[in-house]
Structure 1
């Protein structure tokens, strides 16, 4: 039992260092001696997501959930991870990059609400990577949210870089104003918000679902 706990601890420590290749090997070793080790099944599923091994990860989550031996905490997380995989797979089956980046952004915001900032950054990175030439790319809204996430991770250079991308490249004065505000550039923020209130986008009440949550901020 002590050896098993040691191996599990070692695997989780490797995960904290993002050494996922060795993490997967550790869980492979644990499961080679006990195929019904539900925690190892769950954590190996989480590890395989990092390698985009979605089908194999789903097999692990299915086995862990069906065992009925997972704690409530881990069962909820396993169900969430499995749902996330299913959503991404559906987007890929439909060959829809638009759905893929929006899925990653939505999942990132969930992690942000839960205070899981590293996972938030990972999904925002995927959202940006898959959103080329989209409306979200033109507005740079994902950069605004990633900049905020970087700040929560104490990556202040990364936060400034993302916010400055919004200021320089966004076609949306509301988002530019929010970026200025995050950087304590309040005079410039007010100017951008004034532009937004006077713009056709505001007057014509054009729907922008990902931006509407920022209206009160403005």
Structure 2
């Protein structure tokens, strides 16, 4: 399955036959941009007009929502790393925040001190545990290791993970190799499925077409 959102809903598309089905109905009154990502059995999306980050199960049940105007301002790109940590671009604040898998903790991940300005899109490489950040047209793309130490990844993971991760014993935290080494020695967590970190850039309300952004698919 692949997932996308528009002004009315979050939906799933069967990649085998192209059929789509609605997972979550959304408030049409929102006129902001929405970005979406998926991981394990959860779907995550941002809403720039509501200054919120939401998490739903792939069956449509709402798991959590983080909304704090002092922290989340104009959220856009969103990705999820191999451990279920969520990264959100905040262009208005010139930073990227990391959110714990259960949505209860938020910490700074990248800021202007790291050379970032008006981040918009995020892409995550599971194989190398790297985060690619792109911004406005004139800004230069940047790559950061997800182990970057503005924050402690383990500290975020001390919160209880989603049930779907607890029941899958293959999700184990192992020591991450130095990000400067791009080779794959299999030291990352093993997983028996293809994990998709998907960003769909949605058109604003009122436009007749949808524009889909890049889709990064990695097997690890």
TM-score (norm. length: structure 2): 0.26
Between Structure 1 and Structure 2, which shows a larger proportion of helix residues? Answer: 1
Choose 1 or 2 for highest CA Rg.
1
TM-score (norm. length: structure 1): 0.27
